[in-house]
């Protein structure tokens, strides 16, 4: 299936609310989004403002939206993103293709960006594999940093890709053993 990406516009707020409230998002802050909360997020500019751009993910020729990519912190050198794929389309390779697309989009459209960051819960194996498959490198492990609605606190894992690694098709691992002075 070919994918198409189309910029979200604020006049599509009803479609956005339907998308966010019509599925569950188990690896996001709230697995279930309340319609009033979704409308407030949209009214606050959370999906479209000077530093945020959102894009619908659609299957070419399909009438249904498959997902949503939200690109944030576009005013500095290290943007982050939120990627949501409808549950019935998960596991079909859309996530890696969307991550590849957003990486290329950010590095080609915004030349001052040096790196792109993403964070996921430790137990989100599909997204962690997607990061690695797309050239992102694990840079951080935050213990008990991701609270869930049910009170459970999960570890969070941070990944990033450098512009130079993306351009060369390589990966540069962090210097994990750089403690100074050396541990005794």
pLDDT single digits (tens) 111-130: 999 999 999 999 999 999 99
CA distance 167 to 69: 22
For the beta carbon of residue 2, count every other beta carbon within 10 angstroms. Answer: 9
Residue in 106, 90, 166 with CA at minimum distance from that of residue 134: 166
pLDDT single digits (tens) 131-177: 999 999 999 999 999 998 888 999 999 999 999 999 999 999 998 88
CA distance 24 to 19: 10
Q: What's the topology of domain 3-168? A: Aminopeptidase (3.40.630)
CA distance 109 to 137: 22
Where along the chain do its domains lie?
3-168
For the beta carbon of residue 157, count every other beta carbon within 10 angstroms. Answer: 22
Contact (Cβ atoms closer than 8 angstroms) between residue 138 and residue 118: no
Tell me the average pLDDT across 76-98: 95
pLDDT single digits (tens) 19-71: 999 999 999 988 899 999 999 999 999 999 999 999 999 987 667 899 999 99
CA distance 41 to 22: 16
Q: Is the pTM value of this prediction over 0.85? A: yes
């Amino acid at each position: 299936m070919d994918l198409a990406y189309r910029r979200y516009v604020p006049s599509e707020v009803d479609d956005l609310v339907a998308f966010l409230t019509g599925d569950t998002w188990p690896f996001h802050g709230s697995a279930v989004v309340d319609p009033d909360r979704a409308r407030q997020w949209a009214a606050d500019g959370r999906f479209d403002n000077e530093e945020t751009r959102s894009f619908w993910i659609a299957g070419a020729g399909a009438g249904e939206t498959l997902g949503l990519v939200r690109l944030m912190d576009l005013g500095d050198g290290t943007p982050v993103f939120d990627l949501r794929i409808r549950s019935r389309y998960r596991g079909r390779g859309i996530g890696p293709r969307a991550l590849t697309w957003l990486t290329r989009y950010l590095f080609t459209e915004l030349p001052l960006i040096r790196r792109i960051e993403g964070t996921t819960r430790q137990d989100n194996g599909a997204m962690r594999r997607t990061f690695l498959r797309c050239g992102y490198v694990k840079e951080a492990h935050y213990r008990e940093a991701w609270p869930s609605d049910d009170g459970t606190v999960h570890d969070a894992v941070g990944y990033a890709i450098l512009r130079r690694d993306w351009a060369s098709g390589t990966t540069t691992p962090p210097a994990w053993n750089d403690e100074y002075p050396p541990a005794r």
